[in-house]
């Protein structure tokens, strides 16, 4: 049966055509603005969330696990878990890995496509909400939103897929609810509820739409109170289902493994001496949010301790922030009953910002540009409304039918819009390259936020772990290590309780000790080892819930090098206690026993290590050493051959095996080992 087409009136057809053209412009604008990011690498949490996430790297097979685990499950540190549940963005990232494994460029391409799609849906929602207006307002509002530089963190950072999906799905839910109100089709109602549920699975801030969705329907539709309350009640029910699932998933996490993010390390507001100064600092931050929306000049990926100074209620910034937000709230609450658009825009901004404002509840972070992603829509609406009022532009009657007519009939308004959007776009394009990789981001932003301990820590870490290994000149490496040490010391001067700064100083001085040791300067090497030990010892009590396994293991090895064997064994046992599935502690504990000549004890440790990982080559190698020391060469040969079955290219295994064969007079097999070593080492 041939589908019946509905012929629209001429004006309606031209309006639809114009809307389609505008939608294409918005999509193209969003894609063009962030096309730079396709060539970018992983930055910030992208490595943990994607590249080093053992679950995400399983692709489609990861989906069942991601649905029943917390947000940090699958990252390197097994003990550091989070009381968060956001499976949908993780599933999307896993599916991307399945299609294009370990390809950050594909991730960035997909990211900007999702952003462009979200901006198009935003435009469609605005067209629906303001259906009695011409298309000027939705178009201008969408352009401002797309161009705003405050969104660079969300769009350029792969990890922020949660923010994109959250907003996209909430917009789709609103759009479907509006269509349901218009035609009362149950399919759209169910789809709207489904989108809302998926938004909850993307990010918990979706809960703000429990208020916003009924508010939108009240202001922009002719729905009865009964229907609005029915929708609100249904959304509450959907939220309760989500919260039940979330509770069931998170209760399985051992209490001692939940990472406590509510500390001054992450949220400097917690360093304030009392409740009043905490809230004063929060209002000061809220004022800074407004400033960043209006003048997004100096942007940063982090605003933690102690970049934001602690405020008192008498501080000018806190007082002005309190006054402005109080005035905004009062105005909005009074005017919203008259369905005032300014009041709605203000409430949209305030409601979406509320969960991350540190006013009603304290969150783990001081401040973040990503927190303005949804609230910036309220700002974009206010700015667009002001432009229309200032230029006295007609917004109700549609006097234009094409884009060209719209431009000609609103020259003054569009000139201002072009300048504003142009300035925002220029800043966005200028900011994008800072997100190219960690080195670029950290080296740039440490100058923007010089009082930020984490900025110095991250920059120092990047110098030490990224730039130093890439440098072939030993003297330049030493100079870089010196620069890294300076950054760690700056971080500690700002915040003396920063655990990772101490542990990284331990790593840096350990490296310097290794360098001195390689030159035969044992005195200087031991001096550096001693400084490294002091920093590791200072770091361990500061980590919560426990120090990373690498800190325990590095400290244990340093104790061993200095002959403090009992301390070495004790600290390595602590690592095994906290991280029973990480085998490096077993390897270093075995090395410590071998260094003392305690071969029997070393063998026991190796056997325990093999119960954790039966394919651990180092365990078989160390058993080879231990049995050789005990002159039990047959057992040494047996274990070394087992290690070589797992890793035939292991040079050290072959060397120890060769010696074992020589010790029992087996010249033939010893020569075979020699031939293999020549091939591996010399290629002949």
Contact between 299 and 152 under an 8 Å Cβ cutoff? The reply is yes
Q: Which domain holds residue 141?
A: 11-429
Express each pLDDT in 27-78 by its tens digit.
999 999 999 999 999 999 898 889 888 888 999 998 998 898 887 777 754 5
pLDDT at 449 over 50: yes
Burial 222-231 (b: 16+ CB within 10 A, else e): ebeeebbeeb
Residue 248 lies in a domain: yes
Q: Which residue matches tokens 């550091």?
A: 80
Q: For position 3, what pLDDT does the model report?
A: 42
How many helices (H) and strands (E) would you count in the chain? 31, 0
pLDDT at 398 over 80: no
pLDDT at 265 over 60: yes
Neighbours of 82 (CB within 10 A): 18
Q: Name the band, by pLDDT with cuts 50, 70 and 90, for residue 405.
A: confident
Q: Name the band, by pLDDT with cuts 50, 70 and 90, for residue 547.
A: confident
pLDDT at 259 over 70: no
Token digits for 447? Answer: 């100058």
CA 626/CA 597 separation, integer angstroms: 9
Residue 446 lies in a domain: no
Token digits for 480? Answer: 């870089």
Q: Which residue matches tokens 């959907």?
A: 238
Neighbours of 568 (CB within 10 A): 25
**Higher pLDDT residue, 481 or 267?**
481
Q: What's the rounded mean pLDDT across residues 249-257?
A: 73
What burial class does residue 674 get, using C-beta atoms within 10 Å of its C-beta: 0-12 exposed, 13-18 middle, 19+ buried?
middle
* Residues 320, 322, 324: CA angle, nearest 5 degrees: 65
Per the DSSP assignment, residues forming a β-bridge with 258 are 81
Contacts of 70 (CB under 8 A, 6+ apart): 81, 82, 83, 84, 85, 249, 250, 253
Phi, psi values for residue 583, rounded to 5°: -90, -5
Q: What's the rounded mean pLDDT across residues 276-295?
A: 94
Q: For position 82, what pLDDT does the model report?
A: 67
CA 238/CA 200 separation, integer angstroms: 9
What burial class does residue 6 get, using C-beta atoms within 10 Å of its C-beta: 0-12 exposed, 13-18 middle, 19+ buried?
exposed
Number of structural domains the chain divides into: 1
pLDDT at 524 over 50: yes
Token digits for 626? Answer: 């231990």
CA 415/CA 500 separation, integer angstroms: 51
Looking at the chain, how many residues does it have? 684
Residue 460 lies in a domain: no
What 3-state class would DSSP assign to 312?
Answer: coil
Q: For position 256, what pLDDT does the model report?
A: 61
Q: Which residue matches tokens 């998926």?
A: 198
What burial class does residue 342 get, using C-beta atoms within 10 Å of its C-beta: 0-12 exposed, 13-18 middle, 19+ buried?
middle
Closest residue by Cα to residue 629 from 589, 682, 582, 593: 593
What is the overall mean pLDDT for the chain? 90
* Backbone Cα Rg of the chain: 30
**Higher pLDDT residue, 347 or 684?**
347
CA 154/CA 43 separation, integer angstroms: 12
Q: Is the peptide bond before 180 cis (omega within 30 degrees of 0)?
A: no
Q: For position 83, what pLDDT does the model report?
A: 65
Residue 118 lies in a domain: yes
Closest residue by Cα to residue 174 from 226, 215, 116: 215
Q: What's the rounded mean pLDDT across residues 415-428?
A: 94
Express each pLDDT in 175-207 by its tens digit.
999 999 988 789 999 999 999 999 999 999 999
pLDDT at 518 over 50: yes
CA 353/CA 283 separation, integer angstroms: 12
Closest residue by Cα to residue 580 from 545, 617, 549: 549
Predicted model pTM:
0.87
Residue 472 lies in a domain: no
pLDDT at 86 over 80: yes
Q: Name the band, by pLDDT with cuts 50, 70 and 90, for residue 474.
A: confident
CA 618/CA 461 separation, integer angstroms: 28
Q: What's the rounded mean pLDDT across residues 395-406?
A: 76
Residue 483 lies in a domain: no
pLDDT at 8 over 60: no
Lowest-confidence range among 24-38, 329-343, 577-591?
A: 577-591
Q: How many CA atoms lie within 13 A of 173 on its CB side?
A: 27
Q: What's the rounded mean pLDDT across residues 560-576?
A: 91
Residue 553 lies in a domain: no
Q: For position 2, what pLDDT does the model report?
A: 42
What burial class does residue 24 get, using C-beta atoms within 10 Å of its C-beta: 0-12 exposed, 13-18 middle, 19+ buried?
exposed
Residue 24 lies in a domain: yes
Closest residue by Cα to residue 510 from 496, 530, 493: 530
pLDDT at 314 over 50: yes
């Amino acid at each position: 049966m041939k589908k019946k087409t509905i012929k629209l009136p001429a004006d309606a057809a031209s309006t639809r055509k114009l809307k389609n053209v505008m939608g294409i412009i918005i999509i193209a604008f969003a894609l063009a603005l962030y096309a730079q990011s396709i060539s970018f690498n992983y930055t910030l949490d992208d490595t943990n969330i994607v590249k080093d996430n053992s679950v995400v790297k399983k692709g489609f097979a990861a989906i069942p696990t991601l649905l029943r685990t917390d947000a940090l499950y699958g990252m390197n540190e097994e003990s550091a878990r989070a009381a968060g549940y956001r499976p949908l963005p993780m599933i999307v990232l896993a599916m991307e890995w399945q299609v294009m494994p370990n390809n950050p460029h594909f991730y960035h391409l997909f990211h900007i496509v999702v952003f462009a799609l979200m901006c198009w849906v935003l435009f469609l929602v605005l067209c629906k909400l303001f259906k009695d207006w011409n298309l000027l307002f939705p178009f201008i509002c969408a352009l401002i939103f797309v161009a705003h530089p405050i969104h660079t963190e969300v769009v350029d950072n792969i990890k922020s897929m949660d923010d994109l999906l959250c907003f996209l799905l909430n917009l789709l839910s609103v759009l479907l609810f509006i269509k349901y109100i218009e035609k009362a089709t149950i399919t759209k109602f169910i789809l709207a509820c489904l989108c809302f549920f998926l938004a909850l699975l993307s990010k918990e801030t979706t809960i703000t739409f429990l208020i916003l969705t009924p508010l939108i329907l009240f202001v922009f539709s002719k729905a009865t109170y009964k229907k609005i309350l029915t929708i609100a009640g249904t959304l509450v029910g959907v939220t309760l289902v989500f919260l039940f699932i979330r509770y069931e998933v998170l209760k399985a996490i051992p209490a001692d493994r939940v990472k406590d993010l509510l500390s001054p390390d992450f949220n400097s507001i917690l360093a304030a001496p009392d409740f009043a100064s905490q809230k004063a600092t929060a209002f000061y931050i809220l004022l800074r949010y407004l400033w960043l929306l209006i003048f997004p000049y100096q942007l940063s990926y982090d605003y933690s301790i102690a970049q934001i100074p602690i405020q008192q209620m008498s501080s000018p910034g806190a007082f002005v922030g309190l006054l402005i937000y109080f005035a905004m709230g009062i105005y909005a609450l009074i005017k919203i009953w008259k369905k005032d658009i300014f009041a709605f825009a203000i409430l949209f901004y305030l409601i979406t910002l509320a969960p991350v404002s540190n006013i009603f509840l304290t969150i783990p972070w001081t401040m973040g540009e990503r927190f303005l992603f949804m609230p910036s829509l309220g700002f974009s609406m206010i700015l667009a409304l002001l432009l229309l009022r200032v230029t006295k532009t007609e917004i109700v009657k549609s006097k234009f039918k094409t884009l060209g007519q719209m431009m000609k009939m609103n020259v003054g308004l569009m000139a201002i819009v072009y300048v504003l959007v142009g300035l925002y776009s220029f800043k966005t394009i200028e900011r994008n390259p800072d997100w190219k990789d960690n080195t670029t981001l950290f080296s740039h932003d440490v100058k923007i936020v010089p009082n930020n301990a984490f900025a110095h820590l991250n920059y120092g870490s990047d110098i030490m772990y990224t730039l130093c290994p890439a440098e072939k000149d030993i003297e330049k490496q030493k100079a870089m290590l010196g620069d890294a040490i300076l950054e760690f010391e700056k971080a500690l001067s700002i915040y003396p309780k920063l655990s990772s700064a101490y542990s990284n100083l331990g790593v840096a001085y350990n490296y310097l000790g290794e360098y001195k040791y390689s030159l035969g300067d044992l005195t200087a090497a031991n001096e550096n080892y001693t400084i490294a030990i002091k920093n590791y010892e200072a770091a361990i009590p500061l980590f919560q819930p426990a120090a990373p396994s690498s800190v325990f293991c590095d400290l244990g090895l340093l104790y061993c090098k200095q002959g403090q064997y009992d301390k070495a064994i004790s600290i390595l046992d602590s690592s095994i206690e906290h991280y029973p599935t990480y085998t490096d502690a077993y390897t270093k504990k075995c090395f410590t026993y071998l260094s003392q000549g305690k071969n029997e004890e070393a063998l026991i440790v190796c056997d325990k290590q093999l119960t954790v990982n039966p394919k651990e080559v180092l365990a078989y190698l160390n058993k080879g050493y231990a049995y050789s020391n005990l002159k039990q060469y047959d057992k040494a040969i047996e274990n070394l051959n087992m290690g070589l079955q797992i890793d035939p290219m292991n040079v050290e295994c072959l060397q120890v095996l060769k010696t074992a064969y020589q010790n029992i007079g087996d010249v033939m097999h010893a020569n075979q080992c020699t031939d293999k070593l020549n091939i591996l080492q010399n290629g002949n």
